[in-house]
Structure 1
Amino acid sequence: MIYLDYQATTPLAPEALKAMLPWLEQGHANPHSPHRAGRQARAAVEVARDQVAALLPQGGRVVFTSGATEALNWAIKGASGGIVTTAIEHAAVLDTAHATGRDLTILPVDDEGLVAPASLAPGVGLVAAMLVNNEIGTVQPIAALAEETHRVGARMLCDAVQGYGRIAIPDGVDLVALSAHKIHGPKGIGALWIRDGITLPPLLHGGDQEGGRSGTLSPALCAGFGVAAKLMATRGEEDMAHVERLWAVAIAQLGPDWTINGSTERRYRGNLNVRREGLDVARLMSDCRDIAFSAGSACASGSGRTSHVLRALGLGDAQARSSIRLGFGRYTTEADLTAAIARLDAAARAQRP
């Protein structure tokens, strides 16, 4: 199997697995218990917290959560006033914003997936935007959005799930949502970074173990997340150079019959979303079952709906349905990528010579 679905999840780093194993095999104590074994587990959690915080702005705290979905729900439901977001956000933002019942403004994007920071009306309490889009890789102007957000006295929430460790997070944000399994860490853990001075009402009640968030933490998951974050810091330049090389190889190999969806300049290039006229993606997936790639975001797969992100770019249903997403990164080899693209391109050509 050639794995090209890094936006859905990334392979677990061997170093992260190694850090987790002692806490799965022997370190079974509750990190919130006062005895020595509990304190040892707590120390591992705090080391991980510092490792995650190292790639975030100064002047805030990292609160571990079950994942980015919980973090985004907590940040959005804990705000007051109207909500402003963009048309290409993840469902965890859009659905949660709708569920609050508060005034909601959805900013459009251009045909490259970029939002233009707009003047905000009074009464806005929260602006939420992705740093890097999960479907098309677009890098949004978060710093400019944060500046306008603060002008009206609102909070800026940055969904940094796809960008953390890859794209610098601007200092002007107030809340940042993260997910471990998008940076070669384990599934089942994420975090919300909260700027000092901001207090959110609890989303979960029953213990307040994390100072506003209740629930027993897993030292194993925290340790894996922490080491994965440390690797993003120490390997960042190496990873980015590798991704740039893979992007160049992929673009050269695909050729003119494939069109890139989204910006090619303001983009994280480990995300290659492309379309081919008349492509039957379901048939392509069947013909290339030993290649893992996506017809859209994994969170909406199987729904039968075309991607709201691609529609927001101005693509019609036929164009959206003829699009695929290839995601690659640290553990993708050039040989695997070229072999996969050759297979995909040949199968696509067999549909429409």
Structure 2
Amino acid sequence: MVLSDKIYLDFNATTPVEPDVVKAMIPFFTESFGNASSDHSFGWAADDAVENARGQVARLVNCRPIELTFTSGATEAINLALFGFCMSNKSKGNHIVTCGTEHKATLETMEALERQGFVVTYLGVDKQGNIDLEELEKVILPSTLLVCIMMANNETGLVHPIKNISKLVHAKHVALMSDITQAVGKIPVDLKELGIDMAIFSSHKIYGPKGVGVLYMNKDNHTTIAKHLFGGNHEKGVRPGTLNVPGIVGFGAACKIASAHLEEYHQNQLDLRNRLEEGLLDLEGVTINCHGQERLPNTTNVSFAGVDGTKLLRHLNTLALSRGSACTSNQVNPSHVLKAMGMEDVDALASLRISTGRSTTLDDIQKAVFKIKTVVGQLKTVVL
């Protein structure tokens, strides 16, 4: 089977780089190859390109360019934000609140902070993946430094009410951090309106290059983090190291494209998602997880009762999709997100995340639905 025979439906894992993004990057590999920290014309040109890109990224999420620090990706940004903020503010307290359905990059960093003496409260979720805002309010203590809740879940697409969470958290004089990686470029994200103190997202989820991300720190709220990486004063000392100029330029170009086509992209993805789910719901024993909730327009998480999940994925070998986050997809473990929502292991293992993208067509969806229906029919192990 050749690659062209396959249908890619895993855009939440990564996206192809837009041709116009590649075009914007190429000169910074070959002609304008200077180090952005060098004090000569080559360096100045590279620095100008970085600052232009910073402005393009800022405009997509409505913040000031000075509030953005470029990183190697969202995972590094999460580590910088959590460790930096907690270490900078540990004299004020040692308590953090997060949610059990966060990305592994956040959860594993929380575990590391616990080993450093911080206390973490992990909020539970209901069967639709929602946190209880009354519970959140109750668990915030005088020692609470930070609440960390993602904007949109990477596996189910569920969108948390970040603006309401922000108001609640700030009323308690606590900072809010949000991983907005999956939301950016798919739904409107206005950092000023949302009132987030720290936010994280990455380039390769929005048709930019891999290896570039960004950390936002709200200057209006005087958000600062302690430095814990050393070796230079790049990126205001927050993240030392020679800047990935071509990658940053590509990130900026991807943000510019996303800004221009957000409404069109949103509606197209929503139409495809609706057609996909209508087709799958014809199958007996199918559950669309978080159905009826506010979700990303491109994301469907679906469970198939009475089906061997491992066989399901292998038989769907012409479809590129996943059972959860790309960070854990090489492990045959049930999704921690679905388990937190109360799902049994056997059902979580028989669940798929299907995420569409700009290049997905209605024909792709129709072919995928047909393939899934055929394979599920062959693999049914119980009569429902």
TM-score, structure 2 normalization: 0.89
Give the Cα separation in 1 of the matches to 2:248 and 2:318: 32
Query: 1:67 matched to which residue of 2?
Result: 73
How far does the alpha carbon of each residue in 1:175-218 deviate from its partner, in whole angstroms, 9 at most, with x for none? Answer: 11011001111100000011112221123211021012201111
Given candidates 161, 168, 188, the residue that maps to 1:148 is: 168
Are 2:39 and 1:14 equivalent residues in the alignment?
A: no
Q: Could you tell me whether the CA contact under 8 Å between 2:162 and 2:194 is conserved in 1? A: no
Q: CA deviation at 1:160?
A: 0.3
Give the Cα separation in 2 of the matches to 1:113 and 1:192: 26
Give the Cα separation in 2 of the matches to 1:24 and 1:350: 50
Give the Cα separation in 1 of the matches to 2:259 and 2:307: 39
Q: Could you tell me whether the CA contact under 8 Å between 2:100 and 2:124 is conserved in 1? A: yes
Give the Cα separation in 2 of the matches to 1:8 and 1:17: 20
- Once structures 1 and 2 are overlaid, which stretch shifts more, 179-188 or 194-203? 194-203
Q: CA deviation at 1:256?
A: 4.1
Given candidates 96, 105, 126, the residue that maps to 2:109 is: 96
Are 2:200 and 1:195 equivalent residues in the alignment?
A: no
Are 2:148 and 1:132 equivalent residues in the alignment?
A: no
Query: 2:90 matched to which residue of 1?
Result: none
Query: 1:4 matched to which residue of 2?
Result: 9
Q: Could you tell me whether the CA contact under 8 Å between 1:45 and 1:223 is conserved in 2? A: yes
Query: 2:89 matched to which residue of 1?
Result: none
- 1:20 corresponds to which letter in structure 2? M
Query: 2:268 matched to which residue of 1?
Result: 242
Q: Could you tell me whether the CA contact under 8 Å between 2:333 and 2:349 is conserved in 1? A: no
- 1:339 corresponds to which letter in structure 2? K
TM-score, structure 1 normalization: 0.96
Given candidates 214, 223, 232, the residue that maps to 1:207 is: 232
Query: 1:285 matched to which residue of 2?
Result: 313
Q: Could you tell me whether the CA contact under 8 Å between 2:127 and 2:341 is conserved in 1? A: yes
Query: 2:96 matched to which residue of 1?
Result: 83
Give the Cα separation in 1 of the matches to 2:320 and 2:63: 38
Query: 1:114 matched to which residue of 2?
Result: 130
How far does the alpha carbon of each residue in 1:90-146 deviate from its partner, in whole angstroms, 9 at most, with x for none? Answer: 011111011012110011111111112221221110111111100000000111211
**Which consecutive unaligned segments of at least 5 residues does structure 1 have?**
none
Are 2:363 and 1:335 equivalent residues in the alignment?
A: yes
Query: 1:175 matched to which residue of 2?
Result: 198
Q: Could you tell me whether the CA contact under 8 Å between 1:260 and 1:275 is conserved in 2? A: yes
Give the Cα separation in 2 of the matches to 1:91 and 1:286: 24
Computed over aligned residues only, the root mean square deviation of the Cα atoms, in angstroms, reads 1.4
How far does the alpha carbon of each residue in 1:324-348 deviate from its partner, in whole angstroms, 9 at most, with x for none? Answer: 1111021111111211221122011
Give the Cα separation in 2 of the matches to 1:333 and 1:216: 40
Give the Cα separation in 2 of the matches to 1:160 and 1:137: 12
Give the Cα separation in 2 of the matches to 1:152 and 1:54: 30
How far does the alpha carbon of each residue in 1:277-319 deviate from its partner, in whole angstroms, 9 at most, with x for none? Answer: 1222322232222210001111112323211100111111111
Give the Cα separation in 2 of the matches to 1:116 and 1:329: 31
- 1:142 corresponds to which letter in structure 2? I
Change (3 A) 1:305 1:287: closer
Q: Could you tell me whether the CA contact under 8 Å between 1:84 and 1:106 is conserved in 2? A: yes
Q: Could you tell me whether the CA contact under 8 Å between 1:109 and 1:116 is conserved in 2? A: yes
Q: Could you tell me whether the CA contact under 8 Å between 1:113 and 1:263 is conserved in 2? A: no
Q: CA deviation at 1:274?
A: 0.1
Give the Cα separation in 1 of the matches to 2:228 and 2:335: 29
SS at match of 1:235: helix
Structure 1 segments (4+ residues) deviating >6 Å: none
Q: CA deviation at 1:15?
A: 1.3
**Which consecutive unaligned segments of at least 5 residues does structure 2 have?**
1-5, 87-93
Change (3 A) 1:256 1:345: closer
Give the Cα separation in 2 of the matches to 1:195 and 1:288: 44
How far does the alpha carbon of each residue in 1:238-283 deviate from its partner, in whole angstroms, 9 at most, with x for none? Answer: 1001101101110121124321012433111211100111222322
SS at match of 1:5: coil
SS at match of 2:348: helix
